[in-house]
């Protein structure tokens, strides 16, 4: 029975005990990787409606009178005046602008929910505790699990399951759950944040309403195509926000970085790169030679004998075959001699970050110099 299977694989004991030093296999062992036919499962996310158990993610709840101003001073997103029902993304950076955490932020009437991949939960929670000082806030782990619903038939499926289909970028409480709508992967997704004790029942309700069970492999494939890096897989200790262009802004994505706010750690790097420079590396999607041994996360991307990047998530996609996210040097995006071990790779043309115009600060500097 799908609900029973979801309850079995969604137990949080394994990844909570494993902690942040666990491998991706440890994190994924908490949920189903697939239900027997992963490529067919992924089709449901594209063509009708699929539901993915993402209960290995963990959720922090921040309450108290100062919750919005407190979070606004810490992260790259502007939330000090956010209205209840707002859903956005944010980054936590170090003093040099290196990415420490990526999170989804849901603003409710009297609290803020922050969910992160399991690799970043403990360190983010510790950081939030350390930065309280005089702020009137309380920080706890929220015992909530995330289920994601995607596909063209998601609206009617959610309604049939007794839930809701909010507008993009909005969240709505429904009973004991919170339902929110984000714009990626392609076509968007609706996350249902349920109490952990309600996970099996919520899963069953969605499946009975017509959603097909889809393993995490389907979600990961869509995430890679969406060029969305994840902590512990695609982000190294040197990564800065502009190296993931979808975090900055686009016409169809929720940006994780608000470019018109300051007063947060690492903001100087964000401003400098955006206004006068370019990121040294960029997140791209690699197409892999399926006849060779597939590379692993962390392997070096090579151009001849020179390392030009780092492999991230590797996964099979229903349309593209074997693909991966990678951080590569900007100058190497269009090279034709890229390899990872014995595997030939190439950057998918649609993911190449071509900057056609100089950044505004550089234009102003050139004017002053008479160029």
Q: How many residues does the chain have?
A: 371
pTM, two decimal places: 0.89
Whether 272 maps to a domain, the answer reads no
Q: In what order do the strands lie in the sheet with 171-174?
A: 171-174, 177-182, 189-195, 144-150, 50-53, 212-214
Tokens representing residue 66 in the block: 């100062």
Q: What is the pLDDT of residue 22?
A: 38
Whether 361 maps to a domain, the answer reads no
How many independent structural domains does the chain possess? Answer: 2
Whether 56 maps to a domain, the answer reads yes
Are the C-beta atoms of residues 41 and 212 closer than 8 Å to each other?
Answer: yes
Q: Categorize the per-residue pLDDT at 250 as very low, low, confident or very high, splitting at 50, 70 and 90.
A: low
pLDDT digits (tens, 9 = 90+) for 150-182: 999 999 999 999 999 999 999 999 999 999 999
For helices 360-368 and 267-276, the axis angle rounded to 10 degrees is 60
Whether 367 maps to a domain, the answer reads no
pLDDT digits (tens, 9 = 90+) for 281-337: 999 999 999 998 999 999 999 999 999 999 999 999 999 999 999 999 999 999 999
Query: For strand 212-214 and strand 50-53, is the pairing parallel, antiparallel, or unpaired?
Result: parallel
- Do residues 290 and 202 both lie within one domain? no
pLDDT digits (tens, 9 = 90+) for 176-214: 999 999 999 988 999 999 999 999 999 999 999 999 999
Which is it for the CA torsion 141, 185, 20, 124, positive or negative?
A: negative
DSSP state letter for 29? T
Which CATH number is 58's domain given?
A: 3.30.1360.120
What is the residue-wise DSSP string for 258-315?
A: -TT---STTHHHHHHHHHH---SEEEEEEEE-TTSPP--TTPEEEETTEEEEEEEEEE
- Do residues 38 and 135 both lie within one domain? yes
- Do residues 114 and 13 both lie within one domain? yes
Q: What is the distance between the alpha carbons of residues 260 and 279, in angstroms, rounded to a whole number?
A: 19
Whether 345 maps to a domain, the answer reads yes
Tokens representing residue 133 in the block: 């000082």
Whether 75 maps to a domain, the answer reads yes
Q: What is the helix (H) or strand (E) element at residue 219, kind and residue range?
A: helix 216-225
Q: Categorize the per-residue pLDDT at 360 as very low, low, confident or very high, splitting at 50, 70 and 90.
A: low
DSSP state letter for 231? T
Radius of gyration of the chain (CA): 21
Q: Exposed, middle or buried by CB within 10 Å (0-12, 13-18, 19+), for 126? A: exposed
Cβ neighbours of residue 334 closer than 8 Å, sequence gap 6 or more: 347, 352
- Do residues 195 and 284 both lie within one domain? no
Q: What is the distance between the alpha carbons of residues 229 and 59, in angstroms, rounded to a whole number?
A: 19
pLDDT digits (tens, 9 = 90+) for 79-126: 999 999 999 999 999 999 999 999 999 999 999 999 999 999 999 999
Whether 359 maps to a domain, the answer reads no
- Do residues 218 and 83 both lie within one domain? yes
- Do residues 60 and 154 both lie within one domain? yes
Tokens representing residue 18 in the block: 């494993």
Whether 233 maps to a domain, the answer reads no
Residue 252 has pLDDT above 50, yes or no: no
Domain that holds residue 108: 2-225
- Do residues 39 and 149 both lie within one domain? yes
């Amino acid at each position: 029975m799908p609900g029973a299977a979801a309850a079995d694989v969604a137990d949080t004991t394994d990844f909570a005990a494993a902690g942040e030093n666990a491998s991706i296999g440890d994190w994924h062992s908490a949920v189903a990787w697939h239900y027997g036919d992963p490529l067919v499962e992924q089709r449901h996310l594209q063509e009708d409606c699929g539901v993915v158990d993402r209960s290995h993610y963990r959720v922090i709840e921040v309450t108290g009178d100062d919750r919005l101003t407190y979070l606004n001073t810490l992260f790259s997103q502007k939330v000090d005046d956010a209205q209840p029902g707002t859903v956005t993304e944010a980054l936590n950076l170090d003093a040099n602008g290196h990415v420490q955490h990526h999170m989804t932020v849901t603003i409710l009437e009297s609290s803020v929910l922050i969910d992160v991949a399991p690799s970043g939960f403990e360190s983010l929670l510790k950081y939030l505790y350390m930065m309280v000082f005089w702020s009137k806030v309380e920080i706890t782990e929220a015992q909530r699990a995330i289920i994601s619903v995607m596909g063209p038939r998601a609206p009617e499926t959610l309604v049939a399951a007794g839930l809701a289909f909010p507008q993009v970028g909005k969240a709505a409480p429904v009973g004991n759950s919170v339902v929110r709508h984000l714009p990626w992967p392609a076509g968007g997704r609706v996350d249902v944040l349920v109490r952990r004790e309600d996970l099996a029942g919520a899963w069953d309700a969605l499946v009975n309403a017509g959603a097909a069970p889809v393993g995490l492999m389907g979600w990961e494939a869509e995430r890679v195509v969406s060029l969305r890096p994840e902590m512990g897989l695609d982000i190294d200790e040197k990564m800065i926000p502009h190296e993931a262009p979808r975090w900055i802004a686009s016409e169809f994505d929720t940006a994780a970085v608000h470019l018109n706010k300051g007063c947060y750690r690492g903001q100087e790097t964000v401003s400098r790169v955006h206004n006068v420079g370019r990121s040294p590396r960029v997140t791209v999607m690699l197409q892999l030679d399926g006849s060779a041994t597939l590379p692993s996360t962390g392997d070096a991307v090579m151009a001849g004998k020179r390392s030009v990047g780092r492999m991230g998530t590797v996964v099979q996609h229903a349309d593209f075959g074997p693909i991966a996210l990678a951080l590569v040097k900007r100058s190497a995006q269009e090279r034709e001699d890229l390899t990872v071990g014995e595997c030939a790779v190439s950057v998918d043309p649609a993911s190449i970050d071509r900057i056609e115009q100089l950044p505004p600060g550089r234009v102003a500097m050139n004017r002053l110099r008479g160029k």
